[in-house]
Amino acid sequence: MRLISLLLALLFVAAPAAAGDKRIALTFDDAPRQRGAFFTPGERTRRLIAGLRKGRVTQAAFFVVPGNVGKNDGVGGEARIAAYVRAGHVIANHSFTHPALTDVSAADYVANIDRAEAWLRGRPGRRPWFRFPYLNEGRADKVKRDAVRAALAARGLRNGYVTADGADWNMEGLTEAARKAGKPIDMKALKALYLETMVGAADYNDKLARQVLGRAPAQVLLLHETDLAALYIADLAKALRKDGWTIVTADEAYADPLRERLPDVPSMQGTLTEALAWEKGFPAPRWYDRVAPKVADPLFRARVLHEAAAK
């Protein structure tokens, strides 16, 4: 067994990235979010729309938490969602209050989805996709997982899955904490770390997907409606293209046959790429290392805050 795991790992590392077939869609969770480290919510939206336009991203997807409207986002959350749609982007369901499936009953969770769907239904730009908050599909509770899967199918909703994740929410949180603490932030280094991490997440999962599936599916990159995205989204689009990626619409990405995959693994939480690799017997780790704070946090402190590592 150890020999098989080693061979799979070596095969993964050696996998070449064929030119011309690296496709990726950009998606943003938790809209509308509250004020961040640098901008008011309204300014963030204006900057994100301008950055996406500058980056020639014709359609991104925003997964909406309607319970945030007028609560966590301040005034104007509904108008901000409409502004994304007017700019050519699409919106989808991320639940009404962002619960973790493992924290509530399946019935309460589905009711939360329905409440968000009632808010979204009939709005321009709405797509029939649901993204699990925290990418938590029930973890080891297969009964709950399957109950929600059945409920989604009955409602004509598809899983708005993620294939690539760089934990941008964690970098945003570290930036906010540094600002509140009055620490000097090296903005040039922050930009470089953000771009490096998000492109790295895309590349890692592209290589893994090729090994698992024998092809290169359209990747779906998880981002959040953050100030870091507002600052750097145009630069990220440029960096992805420089790395060989074609940025596609969310509609194109979710037309991939991956939309039919419902992996059965011991625990469901994380990217679809990871779950499919686990289902096929690929050894851990099956995830990009920087999604772990124990890896990402020291990088941030050293490169952005220029703090010495703790002894």
- pLDDT string in tens for the chain (311-residue length): 334 443 443 343 334 444 459 999 999 999 999 999 999 999 999 999 999 999 999 999 999 999 999 887 777 999 999 999 999 999 999 999 999 999 999 999 999 999 999 999 999 999 999 999 999 999 999 999 999 999 999 999 999 999 999 999 999 999 999 999 999 999 999 999 999 999 999 999 999 999 999 999 999 999 999 999 999 999 999 999 999 999 999 999 999 999 999 999 999 999 999 999 999 999 999 999 999 999 999 999 999 999 987 55
> What are the residue ranges spanned by the domains of the chain?
22-303
How do 136-139 and 268-269 pair as beta strands?
A: antiparallel
Contacts 24+ apart (CB under 8 A), 275-278: 276/209, 276/212, 276/213, 277/208, 277/211, 277/212
Q: How many helices, marked H, and strands, marked E, lie in the chain? A: 11, 10
Eight-state DSSP code of residue 307: P
Q: What distance in Å separates the CA atoms of residue 198 and residue 168, rounded to the nearest whole number?
A: 8
| Exposure string for 210-228, b = 16+ CB within 10 A, e = fewer | bbbbeebbbbbbbbbbbbb
Reported residue count of the chain is 311
Q: In angstroms, how far is CA 135 from the centroid of its own chain?
A: 9
Question: Residue 251's closest CA among 49, 26, 48?
Answer: 26
The domain 22-303 is placed in CATH, from the list 3.40.50.11540, 3.30.70.1090, 3.90.226.10, 3.20.20.370, at 3.20.20.370
Eight-state DSSP code of residue 181: T
Q: Which token pair is 282? A: 């690929």
Question: Residue 80's closest CA among 125, 25, 128, 24?
Answer: 125
Asked whether the whole model's pTM tops 0.85, one would answer: yes
